[in-house]
Structure 1
Amino acid sequence: MRVLVTGGAGFIGSNVIRALIDEGYRAYCLDDFSHADFRNIYELPCDVITADIRDGSVFKKLPRLDAVIHEAAVTDTTIDDDNKMMTVNLGGFKNVLEYCFKKKIPLVYASSAGVYGDGPSPMKEAQTPHPLNIYSYSKLMCDRLAGAYFSRRGTPLVVGLRYFNVYGPGEYHKGVSASMIYHLYNQMKSNKNPRVFKFGEQKRDFIYVKDVAQATVSALRMKKSTIMNVGTSFARSFNDIIKAINDVLGKNLSPEYFDNPYSLVYQNHTEADIARIKNALGFKPRYSLEEGIGDYIRNYLDKSL
C-alpha cells in the first residue's frame, strides 16, 4: 500500500513515516522543508517530494497513491502571521481534501485538541469547540471543511485525529513550539532550575509521539469517516514532568515559577476522552508519562538523536 505523508519531514510526520515503513507500507514524504528537518528522515527509505501544499498543481504530479496522511501545518501557536497560518493550514488542507476526493482514496489528517480551548474535561469529540488562538481556529475550520466535503460527496474515508500534547523524538527543530518536556530537559540537563508557569499545576494530556504515530497509521483501517481524540486520558502537571526528568537524570532540581504571559489564550487543562478511538481501533497508549520521558531521554536526547 502506497501512502503519502504531507509534512513528512516534520515532527509527527517523520514518526508516522517510520511507523508506516515498520508495518510494510511504501511511504512517500511531501514537505517544503520550511518547518521541518531533513535529519528526521535521512535514514528512512521513503520517496521524498519537495513541494508546498498551497500549490494545487503539485497534486497533479503525484504518483499513484492508496491513501494520504496529512500532517503538514504551521503549528506555532504564538505566530503573529494569521494569514500564513490560515493559508497553509486551511488552504493547503483544502487542496489535500480535493485530491483525495477526486482520486477516491482515504485521508487521515491531523486535527488538534486545541479546538476544545478551555472547555470541560475529559474532552469529548462532540462537545462545543472553543479555540483560543488562530492555530486552534485553523484546525477547527479543517474539521468543518472535512465534514462538509464528506456530507456533500459521501466518499472517500476521511478521519480527523485530534492530537493532544505530543512530545518525543523529531521535535528538536521546532524551537519555541517544541514540547514542554523538551524545553525542561534542556534546562535541567544544564543543571538549571526548570522554569514553569506559576505554580506548575497546569495539567495536560501528554502523549508520546510513538503512540501518536501508531494511532495514526491504525486509522487507515477505519471503515467510516469520523473525528477521534488521540491522547492518554490522563492529565499530568508540569511538576510531574519535572519529577520524571529529575528521576531519569538522577537530579533534584527545584522548579522556578513565573507568571504566564499567555494566560488569556492558554489551555490550563487538557484531558482526552479516548472512548471513541479505543472502541473503533482498540487503541491503548503503550507509554505512561514516566515511560515516555524515560525512552525519550535515554534513547534520543542523551544520544543527541
Structure 2
Amino acid sequence: MPLDDVVLNFTPGSLILLNVVLAVIILGIALEVRPADFRAVARSPKAVLLGIAAQYLVLPAVTVGLALLLRVPASIALGMILVACCPPGGISNVLTHRAHGNVALSASMTAVSNLVAIAVMPLNVALWAGLNPATAGLMRDFSLNRWEMLVQVLLIIGVPFAVGMPLARRFPDLTGRLRPWVQRIGLVALLVFIISGTASNLGPLREHLGTIFLVVLLHDAVALAVGYWTAAAVRLDEPSRRAFAFEVGARNTGLGLGLTLTFFAGLGGMAMVTAWWGIWDILAGVLLAAWWRRRDARAGKTGDKTGTPAAAGEAGQ
C-alpha cells in the first residue's frame, strides 16, 4: 500500500492520554525555568535569538530542500516539516550537559523557544508545507485549521508553563525534588506510547520502515549540523555550539505526533516520522554527547560551560 494512503488508528482515549503525557513533559521543562533565564536573554539576546532563528527559519527551510532532494512520499515530507517546526524538547538540556555544552544558554533557548512555538508553530507548518507542491496538496486535503492548532499548542505548552513557573518560584525546594521525577515519568510514558502505538499499527507500515529509518537518520544529522554550524558561523564558542546543536537537533516530536493524530488523522508517513524521530534523536544525541566528552578527555578538558547567554554572546566577539 502506498505510504500516503496509510492511516494509523488511535482511539480518542489514547489521544487524550498522549496530550496529558505531553503536558507532563512540558511541565518538567517549566519547573526548570527561572525568571533569571529571561532576564539573561533580555540583557544579551543575540545568542538566543539566533538559536530561535536557526530552529524556526533555517531548519524548516533546509528540511523543505532535503525532502525535495530525497523525493520522499508527501506524507513523509510533511512529517519532516512538522518535526522541523516543533519546539526543542527538554532532553536537549540533558544532552548539552553531557556534552560539556553551555547549559545556561540551552535552558534559556528551550524556555523561550517553547513559548515562541505557541504562536509561531501553526503558521510555520502552513508556510513551509506550502512551498512543496506535494505537501501543499496534503494540507488542502486535511483543511488544517490554524486556530484550532494554536489552541492545541497553547493547551499543551502554555498551560504547563503557566502552572510550572509559579510553582517553581514559590516552592523551589519541593519542585527541585519533583522535577527529575516529572521529567523521567513524562519521557518514559511518551516512549511507551510511541512503541506500543506503532507496534499495534505496524502491519501496513512494515514495508516502509527502512525508508523511514534512513530519512529520520539523515534529517536528524542535518538538524544537529544546522544548529552547530549556525553558531559556528557567528563565532560562538565551542560549548555554545554544542548547545545550539542539541537545541536544533532535539525536537519535541511527541507534540508533532499529537498534532498528526489530531489534525492529520494519523497519516502514516507523518506519524512514523514523528514517532521514530522521538526515539532516534535521543539515541543520536547520547552518542554525539559521548563522542564530544571523549574528545574533551583526550584534549585534557573537563567540565561543562554553564555561563549565561551573555557570556555566549561575548565569546563570539
Same fold, TM exceeding 0.5? no
More strand by share: 1
Higher RCO, 1 vs 2 (CA within 8 Å, ≥6 residues apart): 2
